[in-house]
Amino acid sequence: MTIALIIILSLLGIGIAFYYMKKVISIPIDLGLSQEEGERLKTIHGAIAEGAMAFLKQEYKYLAVFMIGFAVVIAVLIDDTHTPDVREGVYTAIAFLFGAIISILSGYIGMKVATAGNARTTVSARNNIADAFVAAMNSGAVMGFALVGLATLGLMVVYLLMKALLPDVANNVTMEVIAGFGLGGSSIALFARVGGGIFTKAADVGADLVGKVEKGIPEDDPRNPAVIADNVGDNVGDVAGMGADLFGSCAESTCAALVISAIAFSADLNAMLYPIMISAVGIPVSLVTKMLVRVHTEEQVAPALKKLLIISSVLMAVVIYFFTMWMIPGEFVINGEAYTSMGVYWCFLSGLVAGLAVGLLTEYYTSDMYKPVQELAKSCETGAATNIIFGLALGYKSTVLPYLAIAASIFISWELAGMYGIAIASLGMLGTLAIALTIDAYGPVADNAGGIAEMVGLDKEVRRRTDILDSAGNTTAAIGKGFAIGAAILTSLALFAAFLTHSENLLRDINGEDYNLIASITLLDPVVFTSLFVGAVLPFLFTAMTMKSVGAAAFDMIEEVRRQFREIPGIMEGQGRPQYGLCVAISTKAALREMIAPGVLIMGTPLVVGFLFGVPAVAGILAGSLVAGGVLAIASSNSGGAWDNAKKYIEAGNLGGKGSEEHKAAVVGDTVGDPLKDTSGPSLNILIKLSAILSLVFAPFFVNYGGILL
């Protein structure tokens, strides 16, 4: 019954995605355009779609090699002592591949519809803002519902598959194998986030620096050779990257909850599948929310997006109460501690509220409607340097309240349901994922729509309308980023707890039932403290690497754009056609090249540390990089967002407006913030999650073969 319900809800999600996909595609791409305009639009739209697919195709080649290679590593190295007759690694590798493929599929669907929806949003905007809003929103919804549906279906399928393949092993072993699914999703997220982030910023910086600054042509001008790459980047980074990140969080928190509760709920299928159910229930709730919110006038756009988030949160809070009471036993015991179903519900709620709080705080610190960004804009009066100083300070300061909100959620859920509670809290934060992703993917679609309007040369009114959609999307993008970081922090903490629980169980098989691993992971253990210390430095090194990667990739792009302006005759007069494809290819190549080193750092560190120094050292590394990485991620994201909006605030005519000295100072801040908010910051989410799930999956390896130096 529970299994059936989850599968039905998952299929519902996929069905909804198909329905919206149809709706989007049913809009004629040249709706109401003249023959000539229609041709131009088709060319540009085609170039963006092709560019995005070309990137994905290249990326998937790399990924295929990586996935197969890493699956072999998993199959060889993981050999659980629980099950001497079963080669756990092989099954984990299968789950890993399955998770990776589903993550890729979600990203692919999202990109496909986002690149189909952009032009259709443009042409709908010629009618009125309501049509355009619906077109962009529906494009986003495809991504949102498909991803959540695929995630829950995938988890369900992998669970049933493993039950069928391994009928005789205990539930907790099954769940450990299933964790491979989360690892697969998260590994894809690494490449999507880091590679996508580098792609989008290299294209952006290249287009801006040569086009806007050197040549003095406007943004999204079709004469700029990097303009298509720039628009492709929005899709690659913000749609595919964000999607893979949150797919990872969803799969990983579910895996963490499953691993932690497997023994306690071994005989209670309902309780065991509760974590998957939370995400599945989010699908109909998101659908109802989406149908409740409509937009008729321009003023309604921005409030509508926030309404979506708040209504879906309230609905989830109500619905999940009943599911919790139904599925979780009134009282139960995990690892010797007694908890209640009401406690579990509070955990869910604390995560939901913390997620909303982090999102709204992010908005406060990065929207130009509030004091922080207005003050930042004012600091441009004394030049670029003060803008940078104030922006860094703003980012640093903005970490305090979100951290306290997350800390409160951690503390509450830990007290009420132990480590299981943390995993439930992170699922609570992700409960409204379908709607949150809809809004996230809506942003780049609207952004692209504006670009297309500009490039095709449509009426100014069209661009004005898409700009309204886009600017509302910018605010929610900031909320979405805060939300993604919050979810990443809770998820990694849950994975961290699952890792230690799992390791302790394995060690007890070797050292007897009294062996207490967790009590040895104290702050006054030399190995733990030293590795805590080393862990804290990883996010900084990782940020430095990704920032410099963007620099290197942007440099290649700048050279190419300059070359085209120099060598293609008549390009500035609009006669010579720029070679858009070459710029896309350069961004692609640079992104794929530059994502290797950070990838090796993230995946290699826990493996090497665990092999050399064993489980306590891995625990220290994870905790250190989690606490330091979370702060750095929030600070990077918010500094970048605030600089971006301070610039827009000035461009809106405040403090001297466009072209003033203040504006020049603001542009410097914006350029500094770009890699921080779109590459380094979001990639840190992956750093903290991926190293944690990797450790969870490789726990048997660390226990059996690790710690050779101690």
Q: Which 48-77 residues touch a second copy, going by CB under 8 A?
A: none
Long-range contacts of 455-464 (CB under 8 A, 24+ apart): 455/40, 455/44, 455/220, 455/221, 455/222, 455/227, 456/33, 456/37, 456/40, 456/41, 456/44, 456/122, 457/37, 457/40, 458/33, 458/37, 458/122, 458/126, 459/126, 462/122, 462/125, 462/126
Single residue of 534, 585, 596, 652 touching a second copy by CB under 8 A: 534
Q: How far apart are CA 384 and CA 668, in angstroms?
A: 6
Q: How far apart are CA 134 and CA 63, in angstroms?
A: 34
Write down the least CB distance from residue 429 to a second copy, Å. 16
Single residue of 449, 635, 646, 684 touching a second copy by CB under 8 A: 635
Query: Between residue 337 and residue 356, which ones bind a second copy under the rule CB under 8 A?
Result: none
DSSP string, 523-547: TT-HHHHHHHHHHHHHHHHHHHHHH
Q: How far apart are CA 10 and CA 153, in angstroms?
A: 5
- Scanning 29-37, 167-175, 584-592, 617-625 for contacts with a second copy by CB under 8 A, the matching segment is 617-625
Q: Which of 472, 456, 468 is nearest to 29 (CA)?
A: 456
Query: Between residue 394 and residue 423, which ones bind a second copy under the rule CB under 8 A?
Result: 394, 396-397, 399-400, 403-404, 406-407, 410-411, 414-415, 419
Q: How far apart are CA 612 and CA 590, in angstroms?
A: 33
What SS3 class is residue 565?
Answer: helix
Single residue of 72, 389, 510, 572 touching a second copy by CB under 8 A: 389
Single residue of 64, 544, 572, 612 touching a second copy by CB under 8 A: 544
DSSP string, 191-203: HHHHHHHHHHHHH
Task: Provide the terminal-to-terminal Cα distance of the chain, rounded to the nearest Å.
Answer: 50
What SS3 class is residue 505?
Answer: helix
Write down the least CB distance from residue 213 to a second copy, Å. 8
What SS3 class is residue 418?
Answer: helix
190-209 mask for a second copy (x: CB under 8 A)? -------------------x
The enclosing H or E element of 339 equals: strand 337-340
The enclosing H or E element of 332 equals: strand 331-334
Single residue of 257, 497, 646, 692 touching a second copy by CB under 8 A: 497
Contacts of 312 (CB under 8 A, 6+ apart): 282, 285, 286, 289, 432, 435, 436
Q: Is 565 near a second copy (CB under 8 A)? A: no
Nearer to a second copy, 18 or 555 (CB): 555
Nearer to a second copy, 269 or 518 (CB): 518
Write down the least CB distance from residue 397 to a second copy, Å. 4
Query: Which one-letter amino acid corresponds to residue 209?
Result: L
Query: Between residue 357 and residue 386, which ones bind a second copy under the rule CB under 8 A?
Result: 379, 382-386
Q: How far apart are CA 178 and CA 257, in angstroms?
A: 11
- Scanning 424-432, 589-597, 619-627, 646-654 for contacts with a second copy by CB under 8 A, the matching segment is 619-627
Q: Is 393 near a second copy (CB under 8 A)? A: yes
Q: How far apart are CA 676 and CA 209, in angstroms?
A: 17
Structure-token pair, residue 530: 């030293």
Contacts of 18 (CB under 8 A, 6+ apart): none
- Scanning 256-264, 291-299, 366-374, 514-522 for contacts with a second copy by CB under 8 A, the matching segment is 514-522
Query: Which one-letter amino acid corresponds to residue 591?
Result: A
Single residue of 1, 4, 523, 708 touching a second copy by CB under 8 A: 523
Single residue of 124, 312, 324, 671 touching a second copy by CB under 8 A: 671
Q: Is 627 near a second copy (CB under 8 A)? A: yes
Single residue of 519, 566, 569, 708 touching a second copy by CB under 8 A: 519
Single residue of 173, 628, 690, 694 touching a second copy by CB under 8 A: 628
- Confirm if 553 and 594 have CB atoms less than 8 A apart: yes
Q: How far apart are CA 383 and CA 656, in angstroms?
A: 13
Write down the least CB distance from residue 466 to a second copy, Å. 27
Query: Between residue 456 and residue 495, which ones bind a second copy under the rule CB under 8 A?
Result: 493
- Scanning 61-69, 261-269, 356-364, 664-672 for contacts with a second copy by CB under 8 A, the matching segment is 664-672
Q: Which of 92, 107, 90, 101 is nearest to 66 (CA)?
A: 101
Nearer to a second copy, 528 or 561 (CB): 528
Nearer to a second copy, 445 or 497 (CB): 497
Q: How far apart are CA 174 and CA 625, in angstroms?
A: 29
157-196 mask for a second copy (x: CB under 8 A)? ----------------------------------------
Nearer to a second copy, 314 or 547 (CB): 547
Nearer to a second copy, 319 or 518 (CB): 518
Single residue of 128, 511, 522, 575 touching a second copy by CB under 8 A: 522
Query: Between residue 83 and residue 142, which ones bind a second copy under the rule CB under 8 A?
Result: none
Question: How many CB atoms are closer than 10 A to CB 548?
Answer: 13
Write down the least CB distance from residue 535 to a second copy, Å. 8
How many residues belong to the site for a second copy (CB under 8 A)?
71
Q: How far apart are CA 281 and CA 10, in angstroms?
A: 9
Residue with tokens 């000035």: 650
Single residue of 524, 566, 569, 708 touching a second copy by CB under 8 A: 524
Nearer to a second copy, 455 or 634 (CB): 634
